[in-house]
């Protein structure tokens, strides 16, 4: 929820800066606009990281990484096994319906 307010605040601030500058004089310089865009991008990344919980997930992994193993797999074999299991499930369902 705080991340949402951060985004609203950033967009409101951006809008007010643009409106204040444009009503008083010439359009802001490219450097100023780039700084605003960079700030908005930073805020959006912060919002996405907070809303998705990716930082918490990374912390959980780091705290418990001795409990996990990373192993290579064969994607083709995984798909074949999944397809075979689905076919078996559908076959059993068909038999149950007969």
CA distances to 4, 81, 82 from 76, in Å? 41, 9, 10
Domain positions in the chain are 2-70
What pLDDT, on a 0 to 100 scale, did the predictor assign at position 74?
A: 96
| The model's pTM | 0.39
Is the CB of residue 18 less than 8 Å from the CB of residue 24? no
The pLDDT tens digits along the chain (98 residues) read: 555 666 666 667 666 665 655 456 788 899 999 999 999 999 999 999 889 998 899 999 999 999 988 899 999 999 999 999 999 999 999 888 87
């Amino acid at each position: 929820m705080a991340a949402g307010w951060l985004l609203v605040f950033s967009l409101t601030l951006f809008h007010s800066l643009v409106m204040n500058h444009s009503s008083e004089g010439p359009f802001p310089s490219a450097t100023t606009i780039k700084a605003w865009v960079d700030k908005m991008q930073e805020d959006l990344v912060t919002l996405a990281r907070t809303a998705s919980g990716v930082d918490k997930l990374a912390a959980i992994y780091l705290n418990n990484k001795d409990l996990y193993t990373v192993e290579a797999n064969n994607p083709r074999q995984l798909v074949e096994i999944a397809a075979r299991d689905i076919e078996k499930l559908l076959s059993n369902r068909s038999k149950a319906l007969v």
